[in-house]
């Protein structure tokens, strides 16, 4: 969630975010334990900050998924669910079998309080960890607005727990699709035949007036 200005238009939806704020991501210093502490703290103001900062990722992803997955009883796992904003938006468009995973207990407490998720587990999405879910557990496994908050090499696991006819979905700012944290991993997994890209929605006003990319991958199991 970097604070970029709109290059192609005269308006500026940017709100200054302090450099030491966890919203800037942890970059090369990524450590799940530090991330957990930062989000335990940020959880207290996360929903208010996000509203102020004009972040519409959860709403845009829910709108897109509603079109791509017409069956609202589809099972969905929200990775890095934080305080539950994605769950709230998925619930508004009718999805009602949504689970969540996050590393921050404080975020999980707040998300649980919204009574939207079936279940929320504290699990580490780092690539060296195996998630507790069985192979092919979910119709959709989704990561929204968290591309710069964790190592998306973990996607190998997310593909494993996605049904073979389901989707592993990543929602990021459009500019992030070519970033060092996202593009090399996606290219690597596509070239290794671990997944295929089946759909991409480019959406307006994802974050601070900037467009977003919601990409749908299908696992290829050998
Ligand atoms: C910016 S928030 C995204 C929240 C939500 N998806 C949204 O769009 O509002 C990133 C979330 O990822 C979680 N997270 C970061 N690293 C993690 C890890 N290794 N395992 C599980 N969750 C992690 C953080 O605790 C935080 O709740």
pLDDT tens digit string along 108-117?
Answer: 999 999 999 9
| pLDDT score of 8 more than 70 | no
- Cα(89) to centroid(ligand 1), Å: 16
32 Cβ inside 6 Å of ligand 1? yes
Report how far ligand 1's centroid is from the alpha carbon of 100 (Å): 10
| C-alpha 10 to ligand 1 mean position (Å) | 32
DSSP label at 131?
-
Q: Is the CB of 57 under 6 A from ligand 1?
A: yes
Residue 95 pLDDT grade (very low, low, confident, very high; cuts 50, 70, 90)? very high
Q: Quick check: 212 and 62 in contact, CB under 8 A?
A: no
pLDDT in tens, 158-190: 999 999 999 999 999 999 888 888 899 999 999
Residues 6+ apart with CB under 8 A from 46: 39, 82, 83, 107, 110
What's the rounded Cα separation, in Å, for the pair 37 and 41? 6
Q: Is 77 in the pocket of ligand 1 (CB under 6 A)?
A: no
Question: How crowded is residue 71: how many other Cβ atoms within 10 Å of its Cβ?
Answer: 10
Mean pLDDT of 152-161: 96
What integer pLDDT is reported at residue 27 of this predicted model? 61
Least confident interval from 4-13, 118-127, 174-183: 4-13
Residue 146 CA to ligand 1 centre (angstroms)? 6
Q: Among candidates 209, 213, 203, 156, which has minimal Cα distance to 179?
A: 213
What pLDDT does residue 5 have?
A: 39
Ligand 1 and 170: CB distance under 6 A: no
Radius of gyration of the chain (CA): 16
Q: Tell me which of 23-32, 46-55, 169-178 is least confident.
A: 23-32
**27-219: CATH number:** 3.40.50.150
Please state, as a whole number, how many other Cβ atoms lie within 10 Å of the Cβ of residue 177. Answer: 17
Reported pTM: 0.92
């Amino acid at each position: 969630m970097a604070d970029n200005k709109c290059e192609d238009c005269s308006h500026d939806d940017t709100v200054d975010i302090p450099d030491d704020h966890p919203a800037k991501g942890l970059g090369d210093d990524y450590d799940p334990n530090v991330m957990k502490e930062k989000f335990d703290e940020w959880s207290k103001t996360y929903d208010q900050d996000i509203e102020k900062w004009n972040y519409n990722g959860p709403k845009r992803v829910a709108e897109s998924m509603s079109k791509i997955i017409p069956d609202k009883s589809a099972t969905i796992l929200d990775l890095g669910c934080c305080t539950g904003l994605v769950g709230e938006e998925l619930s508004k468009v009718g999805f009602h079998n949504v689970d969540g995973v996050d590393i921050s207990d404080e975020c999980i407490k707040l998300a649980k309080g919204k009574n939207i998720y079936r279940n929320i587990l504290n699990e580490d999405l780092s690539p060296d960890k195996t998630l507790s879910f069985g192979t092919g557990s979910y119709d959709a496994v989704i990561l929204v607005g968290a591309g710069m908050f964790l190592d998306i090499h973990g996607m190998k696991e997310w593909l494993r727990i996605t049904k073979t006819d389901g989707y592993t979905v990543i929602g990021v700012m459009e500019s992030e699709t070519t970033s060092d944290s996202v593009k090399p991993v996606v290219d690597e997994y596509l070239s290794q035949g671990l997944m295929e890209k089946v759909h991409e929605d480019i959406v307006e006003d994802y974050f601070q007036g900037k467009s977003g990319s919601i990409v749908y991958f299908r696992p290829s199991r050998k």
